[in-house]
Chains A and B, each alone.
Chain A
Amino acid sequence: MSAAQRPEWTPDEMMTVTAARMLWDHCVCFVGIGLPSAAANLARLLHAPEIVLIYESGTIGTRPNVLPLSIGDGELADTATAVVPLPEIFSYWLQSGRVDVGFLGAAQVDRFGNLNSTVIGPYQRPKTRLPGAGGAPEIAMHARQVFVVLKQSPRSFVAEVAFKSSAGFLTGHGARKATGATGAGPQAIITDYGVMKPQAGSEEFELVARYVHVTVAEAVAATGWPLQVAANVDVLSPPTQDELAVLRDLHRRTREANSRPVKLPV
């Protein structure tokens, strides 16, 4: 891409804005930390003021003014409608089927939307030990649908994940449904190139939309399997001035909060 065409937003910003646009007002969203949390809060500050954000720390209906660094920052509790014990958030609120959207990140995703956040390399002697699954296996299983947000590269978008931390469509072709999983599984992967959705039947993810500044060929090249491309690939409209301003202000407030010294009262 030439300098003249370079957009005045970053791929990260485009990805976060695109993910935020997929959420709707009054939606009950179980939020993972990082990019999903940024997108969910951006949606809340823009077009979905009544979105219900749930974090696995037990905070329900939280409205943080700054993005939490951890899943249980005090900001999440102080701005929540309810704070419940952790066993309860998974049993009464998630397993019971009250969540519309599970919003997840991961280290790797495969062509069927299975997620790896556990290990790269053999489990017993990993090349890279990742943090692990946390709340994601049951979020992926029980949320009515799942959105995944992840930066794209051939290393992060692989044909088959070495370790399934959370189930997508498993081997596709109805394999997930046959397990009795209650939720419909991953319905979109939002990347820094565009959006992928599962094909009917095979349940393999294909490119359905791209950002204005990337080509289909670039999106295919950034994928570790032979990415199929929908007959009509939408071109996503760039972030509006309003979307960018709100997102940048949210990040600015967050940076300020995270650099603020904490004083122990002792």
Chain B
Amino acid sequence: MAITTLQAAIGEHVRDGDTVALEGFTHLIPFAAGQEIIRQRRRGLHLVRMTPDLVYDQMIGAGCADRLTFSWGGNPGVGSAHRVRDAIENDWPGALAISEHSHAGMAAAYVAGASHLPFGMLRGYLGTDLPRVNPAIRQVTCPYTGEQLATVPALNPDVTILHAQKADRAGNVLISGILGAQKEAGLAARKLLVTVEEIVDDLGAPMNGIVLPNWVVTAVCCVPGGAWPSYARGYYARDNAFYIAWDEISRDRETFSAWIDRYVLGTGDFAGFIAALRAAGVGP
């Protein structure tokens, strides 16, 4: 475990062609890390995420990925993830192969990955067309009852990236609030990078709180605000106005690219990104 900068962590641990999962279900989405991957111009990533919303809209639109494994891809409550759509419908900025699941299937795949089992199992997908278009969704017969159950191959990303509320100085990480599949995705990965709101002397973790011990964490980076425009419970709320505004920013290629060029590629780090938004009068 190393406590380091986000630039150093992404530079050292995320390689072109890697399978990378940025998790966080609406809450604690590691936006700063996604933008740093864009800044470092990683290419050919296989991106994995249950809900590829704005964070993957940005990364896919910026050309970081050629494959996506997911279960729901949109701008929650607003509409389309326009850049994800454009990649699937029109190969812009490049072709994007997809492996599509349901949430329950994807959750089972992460649980299997965290358990180092070969596959996850569920009563799922029954009567749907998803197994027809995703041949990885198969069936197994229960050896006890004969019931047919759906299976999904384990997900084991090369790198999982999470955002959390805090870490202590030894790099133990505490997550609270809506957890999504963060713990499972973290434990399924070969490397786990975590950005946090703050680094503290004492986590003050409740006994059954979600703590990722430092020996399963590869690197911790202190990036206050790093989940914006999603939220970090106890620190700041979800910026729903920005999610609504993103619909216009991302709708066409030129507006999107200008936004990425100005605010992400044109800034050195996440603090610079926030400062640039504020200077333009649109910052949080």
Chain A CB within 8 A of B26 CB: yes
Q: B180, A258: Cβ atoms under 8 Å?
A: no
Q: Is the CB of B236 within 8 A of A262?
A: yes
Q: Which of A71, A114, A123, A138 contacts B76 (CB 8 A)?
A: A71
What is the interface of chain A, defined by CB distance below 8 A to chain B? 33-34, 56-59, 68-74, 76-78, 83-87, 90-91, 94-95, 114, 118, 123, 125-138, 141-142, 163-167, 170, 176, 179-182, 257-266
Q: Which residue of the partner chain, among B26, B89, B124, contacts A138 with CB atoms under 8 Å?
A: B124
Q: List 30 A-B contacts (CB under 8 A).
A: A57-B26, A57-B27, A57-B178, A58-B179, A69-B76, A70-B26, A70-B238, A71-B76, A72-B26, A72-B178, A72-B180, A83-B179, A85-B180, A86-B103, A87-B108, A90-B103, A91-B107, A95-B124, A114-B127, A131-B81, A133-B72, A133-B102, A137-B128, A138-B104, A167-B128, A180-B126, A261-B284, A262-B231, A262-B236, A262-B239
| A69 & B180 in contact (Cβ 8 Å cutoff) | no
> Interface centre among A58, A77, A129, A263, by most B CB within 10 Å?
A129
Q: Which of A72, A166, A259 contacts B25 (CB 8 A)?
A: A72
Question: B243 contacts the other chain (Cβ, under 8 Å)?
Answer: yes
Q: Is the interface of A mostly helix, strand, loop or mixed?
A: loop
Q: Are A90 and B128 in contact (CB under 8 A)?
A: no
Residues of chain B at interface, number, CB under 8 A: 66
Contacts of A77 in B (CB 8 A): 27, 177-178, 233
The interface of chain B, by Cβ under 8 A from chain A, is 25-27, 50-51, 70-74, 76-78, 80-81, 84-85, 88-89, 100, 102-104, 107-108, 110-111, 122-130, 133, 147-148, 177-181, 183-184, 210, 224-225, 228-229, 231, 233, 235-244, 271, 274, 284
